[in-house]
Structure 1
Amino acid sequence: MKKHHPDIRDLVYVHLNQNDQYVLSYGIEFAEFAAAFSDTLNPLLLLKHQFDDGDFNMHTLLEYCPTNRIKKLADDDIYGYGDFCWIDFAEEEGLNELTGQEIAELLYLGHHKQHLKLPFYNKLGNRFVYLAHDDGFFNKIYYRSFKDFFQLLSQALSSKLGELKLEKSILGIKKKRLYPPINKEILLSLTPFIKEGICISLRDVDHQRSRLEIPVWVIGDFASMDDMYEEYEQISGENCHAKIIFDKKTKEWKLTVI
C-alpha cells in the first residue's frame, strides 16, 4: 500500500534511463519543475489531470493549459489529482495534425505511464512528457535533452535547501536563505551514479560553520517509491558515496566522491 511521506520535499531520488530518455524521480514536484523552466515552457496537453481552467482541443478531445495559466496550474493541489500527465506542444496547429495512431499513443502514455514508441513528436516539437502519480511521489519525465533534467535538478536542490534552512532575522521572522543553483558540471559528473539511481538527502545535511555537506547515496533502480524509501532508511545509516558541498565563504559548490 502506498504511503505519502510527509517529508517528501527533503529527500530526492533520481534514476536516469538513457536509452529510453526518461528520469524516474521522487521528491521533485511540478511547482519546482515549472519554476525551473518558467520562461520557456510551451502549452501543456493534459493527458490526466483535474485542472479546471484548461482550454479544449476539438481534434484530440483533450484539454490543454496555455502558457499564461501554467503558474495557476503549478499553484493547484496537483498531489491531490492522483494521476497528472501531460505533453508539451509548440503550436495548436500541431495538435490538429496528429493522426489517430499518435493520439492513441498519447492516451496509452497517460494511462500506463510508459511509451509504445519514444514520445517525441515533430508535429508537437515537445521537449517533455511528464507522467506522475501523486505528484512528487512518483514522477517519470521524458526529456528530449537531458540538459533540461540537469537544469531542473540544479535549481530544485538549491531552492529546497533555502526552504529547509530558514534563517531567523533580528525581528524573529523566519526568512528564506538563497543558495545559488548547483553547477550543472557537478551534477553531470554524478551521471554514472544517477544511471544507477541515487538519493540526495537534504534532511541529512551536515551544517558546519564554513560549509554545508549534502550526502548522496547510490541505492539502485526502483519502480516502487515505497521500496526505494525503505532502502534509503536502511542505507542512510551507512557512509554515503558522494557529498555535494557548499562553501559559505566563496558561495561556491563542489563535489567529493568518497
Structure 2
Amino acid sequence: MKSNKQIKDIIYVHKNTDRQYVVSYGINFREFALHTPQPLKSLLLIKHQYEHGAFNIHTHLEYVEQEEMEKITSDNVEGYGDFCWIDFDEEAGVNELNGQEIAELLYMGHLKQPLNAPFYSKLNNRFAYLSHDDGWFNKIYYRDFDDFYEILGSTVASKLGSVKGGKGLFGMKKEKQFPVVGSQIITSFKEKIKEGMIISIEKAIVSRGKIEIPIWVIGDYFNMDEMIEDYQQFSKSPANGLLIFDRKTKNWTSSIR
C-alpha cells in the first residue's frame, strides 16, 4: 500500500493505442474527474470502499449519481486499494446488462483488464477506470483519446500551480493560475506517450521569463516502483523534450529532441 505522500510531482503516461488504454502514475481520481472535458455522469462501482453509494438490485453493484460526484471525489480514494468503475448515462441501461456483461465487468475489476473492449452501448460509457492505490497505478480505457489529452494538459497546469506549497515553484511568487496545456501541445508528444514518458514537474527549471518542464521517454511499465527507480537514472541525462510556459505571453509551447 503506497501512501499518497510518496507520489511525487511527476506524471508517467504510457498509451496503448490498439487496446485503447493509458497506464498512468501521478494523476488521481479527483484530478481526472475535475479535468474531464464533459462532467462525469454516473459511476457504476466495480471495486471500491466508498460507503455512500446507491445499490443497483439488477447487478448487485453500487453506483454514484452525478449530484454525488463531489462527495466521492473528496473521499480518501487512494486508501481504497482497488478502485474500479465504469461510467453510465441512465440506470435503465445498467438494468439492461445481461449476465455475460455483468460477468465481464467483475472480471475486469478483478484482473484490471477486460475480456472485450469495455464500451457498452447500454451504458454509453466513455471510460473504464481501473486503479490500485489510486494515483499510483491507474489503467484507464478511453473511448476517445481526445479526453485523455485534455485531462493530461489540464492536470499538468493544475499541478504546476499547486506544487511547492503556497509559495509556488521553488519559493518564487506564485503565478495566479496556469492556463491548461492545449491538446495540440500535448499531442505533439503522441509518439513519446506511446513509448511511455514522464513529465517531471519536480525538475522544472524556472527563470524570469519562462518555466521549462522536462520530459523523459522511459518505456513501458506496470510496476511503478521500478518506473520510479529507472526515472531517477533517466533524469540525470538530457531530457527528450520540454513543455515551456512563457510567463509574459502566458502561452505554452513544446520542444522535442
Tell me which interval the TM-score lies in, with the shorter structure as reference length.
over 0.9
AA aligned to 2:55 is F
C-alpha contact 2:33 2:39 (8 A) present in aligned 1: no
Asked if 1 retains the 8 angstrom alpha-carbon contact of 2:4 and 2:78, the reply is no
Residue segments in structure 2 that go unaligned for 5+ positions in a row: none
Partner of 2:116: 117
Q: Is the 8 A contact 1:157 1:181 kept in 2?
A: yes
Q: Deviations along 1:146-189, whole A, 9 cap, x unmatched?
A: 000001001100000000155659xxxx9673100001101011
What's the TM-score, normalizing by structure 2?
0.95
**SS of residue matched to 1:203:** helix
Native 8 Å contact 1:163 1:176 kept in 2: no
Residue type at the aligned position of 2:140 = I
Give CA-to-partner distance per residue, 1:98-140, whole Å, 9 cap, x none: 1100000000011110010010001110000000000000000
Partner of 2:11, secondary structure, is strand
Of all paired residues, the percent bearing the same amino acid is: 51
Q: 1:6 deviation in Å?
A: 2.6
Q: Who is 2:212 aligned against?
A: 213
CA distance in 2, matches of 1:160, 1:74: 17
Q: Distance in 2 between matches of 1:237 and 1:8?
A: 20
**Which digits, 9 at most, give the CA deviation of each residue in 1:3-42, with x for residues without a partner?**
5473414110000000000000000000101111385211
Quick one: structure 1 residues 17 and 86, their matched pair in 2 at CA, closer, same or farther if it must change by over 3 Å? same
Separation of aligned partners in 2, 1:181 and 1:85: 27
Q: Are 1:79 and 2:78 an aligned pair?
A: yes
**RMSD between aligned residues:** 1.8
Unmatched runs of 5 consecutive residues or more in structure 1? none
Which amino acid in structure 1 is aligned with residue 156 of structure 2?
Answer: L
Where has structure 1 moved over 6 Å in runs of 4 or more?
none
Cα distance in 1 for partners of 2:179, 2:39 equals 20
- Greater fraction helix: 2
What residue in structure 2 maps to residue 142 of structure 1? 141
Q: Would the alpha carbon gap of residues 29 and 176 (structure 1) be closer, same or farther in structure 2, given more than 3 Å must change?
A: farther
> Judging changes above 3 Å, is the alpha-carbon distance between structure 1 residues 176 and 92 closer, same or farther for their aligned structure 2 residues?
farther
